[in-house]
Structure 1
Amino acid sequence: MRAETVFNVFTYGVFPAWALLVFAPRWKWTQRLVHSVLIPVMLGVAHLGLMLGLNLSNSVPEGASGASLQGAMLLFSDPWVAVLCWIHYLAFDLFAGAWIVRDARRRNIPHLAVAPCVLLTMNFGPTGLLVYLAVRFFMRRTVTLDENETAKAAAPQAHLASG
């Protein structure tokens, strides 16, 4: 199989997950597919398999590394190494997009405010996460990444309601 074919399979293969995050964030299949470990595990297995299948010492040009810009440019000059790195981006961007949707739900942030952030994360990774964090700050005045913070804030209210 050609590197371009593998690239396309993974690139278009994650689009349904992104569509579910944007258009059906509360649907049971979004929960089962996108918010489970299924997709990250599949991407991780593909990444590991490709990494083990590549003979990096033969496919990476001399001087290629992540230690310098020139070295990184050389690293990405091999199509299979570029696909390997692309799967890395796909996995972590989707992970961040799913986290954004879950975090927004925990904090009762309207999905209409979140959907553009998810699309930005799909296309520009960290920029989408940054925009979501800004939206979250302006809507909920919170800067923490502690997921238990919302549970702690809700605990006193739950106690009062049951008492």
Structure 2
Amino acid sequence: MLPNPGLLSWVVLILCPKWRHLTPIALFGPIINAITYTAVVSYTFTHPDPDSNADIKSLEGIVELFRNNDAVFAGWLHYCVFDPLVGLGEVLDSRKTGVPHLFVVPCLVLTMLLGPMGFLLYLCIRALTVYVKDDSFSVQ
């Protein structure tokens, strides 16, 4: 089995944050995963499980939906599309705001593993960096 193409995104985001080809290479994995996601979701909707009471209006319906392996695969692909895009946003924003990449790397790893927690960590580090860089901040 081939590795997920989204892994390429994480490698370049962590190791090559200033590379001029960062954005197109980091987008490659999410694009491939988005195409695959579209195919899987299309198949799942056109071949529904007749015994399923799945719907997206309630937590119980979502739990029922994820009893289907195709739906679980689609859910995983959903993460494989959006998490690297959040990571790309963190890297591009860190360039603009001057957050040192060494501080961004743990955020990227956490975003890869636990999405929103990594994003929240990045926002905290970003806020601290902006505060420290502000002219009114001084350490005595």
TM-score (norm 1): 0.71
Equivalenced residue count is 131
CA contact (8 A) 1:66 1:72 kept: yes
Instruction: Calculate percent identity across the aligned residue pairs.
Output: 27
Deviation at 1:53, TM superposition (A): 2.3
**Does residue 50 in structure 1 map to residue 40 in structure 2?**
yes
In the aligned structure 2, how far is the partner of 1:60 from the partner of 1:71?
14
Counterpart of 2:8 in structure 1 is 16
The alignment status of 1:30 with 2:19, answered yes or no, reads: no
Q: Residue type of the partner of 1:22?
A: I
Give 1:137's match in structure 2, choosing from 127, 131, 134: 127
**Structure 2: gaps (5+ residues):** 132-140
Deviation at 1:20, TM superposition (A): 1.2
Asked if structure 2 preserves the Cα contact closer than 8 Å seen for 1:40 and 1:91, the reply is yes
Give the match's secondary structure for 1:121: helix
**CA distance 1:94–1:60, change in 2 (3 Å):** farther
1:74 is matched with 64
Give the Cα separation in 2 of the matches to 1:106 and 1:72: 39
List runs of 5+ in structure 1 lacking aligned partners. 142-163
Conservation of the 8 A alpha-carbon contact between 1:61 and 1:75: no
Question: What RMSD in Å do the two structures reach over aligned CA positions?
Answer: 2.0
Measured after TM superposition, the shift of residue 62 of structure 1 is: 2.5
Runs of 4+ in 1 over 6 A off after TM superposition: none
- Distance in 1, matches of 2:39 and 2:50, equals 17
TM-score of the superposed pair, with normalisation by structure 2: 0.82
